[in-house]
Chains A and B, each alone.
Chain A
Amino acid sequence: MIQFDQVTKRYPGSDEALKNISLNINAGEMAFVIGHSGAGKSTLLKLIAAIERPTSGTVLIANQNISKLKTSAIPFMRRRFGLIFQDHKLLYDRNCFENVILPLRINGVAGNEAGKRVRAALDKVGLLHKEKVMPITLSGGEQQRLAIARAVVSRPSILIADEPTGNLDASYAADIMAIFYAFHQVGVTVIVATHDALGMSASQNRVIHLNQGILTTEGHISKGIPNS
């Protein structure tokens, strides 16, 4: 599903954020990307989501080379992903319902069908009763869940979350992780970047460990968390 072959990413005017990364994530897998701050976790996710292009090497998503994609084709590639950002990127000038409906508008889904899907997504994250509420009045955990609802409403096959539990307390973070597991369970590919091991012990999950842009260890939780 997702293939990295000797991928290097250098931002203009800075050092290499990723160095010679080769990896493979299969459809339906749940993978964690871990590492220190500045290790290149966000960069890895951005390459997957076609937000950034590699400096060298190839990134293949569903057998399509991201670097060779025409600019006009990129929006359609992005629609395969549900993205959850560290800073939510919610729109604070509209209520929860209107935040969640945005991806459906982009996908050309409208009317009753859209309303139904928005409510189903809000229900999945336990925010159905907050449909008409403005996001600014939600707690940090609720905002994160709203962001998840927005990411899943268009039923993407790949869910990508950048530090979704970043500044939440443990019980909220466990809630969020449980939601990701639920999507993984129904066959969605889930990729989560995180700097803590929270929630990872639950089952055998793929771990991609980055250290200063270098892929240090790849393995599964059950084989032991790589010590960092």
Chain B
Amino acid sequence: MSWFNHHTQAMKLVLARMQGNKTSSLLICLVVAVAMCLPGLFYLGVDNLSTLTNHMQDETEISLFLKLDTSNNTITEIDELLAKNSAIKHYRLVSKEDAWKDLQAKSGADSAVKQLNKNPLPDAFFIQAKSVNPAELEALKTELQNIPNVEHALLNSDWAKRLSTLLQLGKEIIFFIAILLAIALLVIIGNTVRMQILTQKDEIEVSKLMGATSSFIRIPFLYAGIFYGLLGGLLAIFMMAMVIGFFNYSTSQISTLYNSDFRLSLFNGHLLLGIISLATFIGWLGAYLAVTRSIASIKIN
């Protein structure tokens, strides 16, 4: 009971002190928020992109672009060839005329597409393979590539793979940035708590003389650190929500143009929980380090 009292009293005391010191408390929470928000946003961006590319990697479509001067006879020959190929599940032909019409329909009235007076598009086959095995897909792609009059065979997952390794690299970079920012935060919170300890020096000394244990002295400062972290973390999420809202709004136009519904989503439970608990932990640790060092240095006499 006395333990419980002690903790609630310490919390009340810290909240009262923070209220009495609104500007500096807000400032430190803001610092925590910005430091958490930056890597959080990058992570969210990369994470959203990589779920997109992961999804694409599963696609087993091979695009077969024919040479521009391919005749209709040749197209029929290729069509027959594809129909015989046992590795192919199904395929469809999109003629250059259809592709051109489609593109013109999708683009706006005054777009660059409308300025072209010649169709630049080739005839193309879109092929769905039976296998999902990358090696077999690769083999099929090479086989298709070698058909005469085929300009280019494209395994759609190729670029997705490349992007995904890039994104993986991005994640690792974010991880290191996050570590650096965490260290900076630790120092900043530690310093803030150390300053507070200095202003409470008399109280600490008197409390020690009256038989206060070190944990009694330490607890209010630990709560200060925890509150800075917690409030900073919540503020970080609020800031992220704002940035993402703005991002989604401004990309919605581009997205519709690309016929995509790509939107950044904040609702990544692990990330939100991670940000809040990491911020709280950093707050606690910074305060703990500061308080352990400073309290030992306050001598009683």
Assuming A89-B202, A91-B206, A102-B206, is B5 touching A110 (CB within 8 A)? yes
Q: Whole-angstrom distance from the CB of B72 to the nearest CB of chain A?
A: 93
The number of A-B residue pairs with CB atoms under 8 Å apart is 52
Least Cβ distance of A88 to chain B in Å?
10
B203 touches A108 (CB 8 A): no
Given known pairs A83-B209, A105-B9, A110-B9, the reply for A51 and B202 (CB within 8 Å) is: no
Interface with B: A22-30, A70-78, A117-125, A202-210, which one? A70-78
User: Is A195 interfacial (CB-CB < 8 Å)?
Assistant: no
| Interface residue from A49, A83, A106, A110 paired with B216 (Cβ < 8 Å) | A106
Tell which of B3, B203, B206, B210 has the most Cβ of chain A within 10 Å: B210
With A51-B300, A110-B2 as contacts: A75 and B212 at CB distance below 8 Å: yes
Q: State how many angstroms separate the Cβ of B129 from the closest Cβ of chain A.
A: 72
Residues facing B in A61-90 (CB within 8 A) are 72, 75-79, 81, 83, 85, 89
Find B210's partner among A46, A102, A109, A111 (CB 8 Å cutoff). A102
Dominant SS among interface residues on chain B: helix
Complex contacts, A76 vs chain B, CB 8 Å: 211
Residues of B within 8 A of A105 (CB): 6, 9
Q: A51-B300, A51-B301 are in contact. Are A106 and B211 (CB under 8 A)?
A: yes
Q: Taking the complex as formed, is B151 at the interface, i.e. its CB lies under 8 A from any CB of chain A?
A: no
Question: Least Cβ distance of B195 to chain A in Å?
Answer: 16
A77 touches B210 (CB 8 A): no
Tell me if B133 is interfacial: C-beta within 8 Å of chain A.
no
> Once the chains bind, are A78 and B211 in contact (CB under 8 Å)?
yes
Alpha-carbon distance between A102 and B5 when the two chains are bound, in angstroms? 14
B207 within 8 A of A: yes
Note all chain A residues with C-beta closer than 8 A to B6.
105, 108
Listed residue (B5, B209, B212, B301) with the most chain A CB atoms within 10 angstroms of its CB: B209
Q: Is A103 an interface residue (CB 8 A)?
A: yes
Contact: B5 with A103, CB < 8 Å?
A: no
Tell me which residues from 102 to 143 in chain A have a Cβ below 8 Å from any Cβ of chain B: 102-103, 105-111
B188 → chain A closest CB, angstroms: 25
Which of the residues B205, B206, B213, B301 comes within 8 Å of A75, measured between beta carbons?
Answer: B213
Expressed in whole angstroms, the Cα–Cα distance for A78 and B6 within the complex equals 19
Q: Does B5 lie within 8 Å of A108, measured CB to CB? A: yes
A134-169 vs B, CB cutoff 8 Å, 1 = contact: the mask equals: 000000000000000000001000000000000000
Q: Of all chain B residues, which has the CB nearest A11?
A: B301
B18-60 CB mask vs A (1 if < 8 Å, else 0) is 0000000000000000000000000000000000000000000
Chain A residues, Cβ within 8 Å of B3: 108
Contacts of A49 in B (CB 8 A): 209
Flag if B300 contacts A79 (CB, 8 Å).
no
| Contact across chains for A72 and B213 when beta carbons are under 8 A apart | yes
> 8 Å CB contacts to B: which residues of A89-107?
89, 91, 102-103, 105-107
- A108 contact from B2, B202, B206, Cβ within 8 A: B2
| Contact assessment for B205 and A89 in the assembled complex, using a CB-CB cutoff below 8 Å | yes
Contact of B203 among A51, A78, A85, A91 (CB under 8 A): A91
Contact check, B210 vs A79: say whether CB atoms are below 8 A apart: yes
Are B2 and A106 in contact (CB-based, < 8 A)? Answer: no
A111 to B2, CA, bound (A): 11
Contacts of A79 in B (CB 8 A): 210-211
Q: CB-CB < 8 A to A72: which residues of B?
A: 213
Q: Can you list 20 A-B pairs, Cβ within 8 angstroms, ordered by A?
A: A51-B209, A72-B213, A75-B211, A76-B211, A78-B211, A79-B211, A81-B211, A83-B209, A89-B206, A89-B209, A91-B203, A91-B206, A102-B207, A105-B6, A105-B9, A106-B210, A108-B5, A109-B2, A110-B5, A110-B9
Q: A51-B301, A83-B210, A108-B3 are in contact. List 9 more A-B contacts (CB 8 A).
A: A46-B301, A102-B206, A102-B210, A106-B207, A106-B216, A107-B211, A108-B2, A108-B6, A110-B9
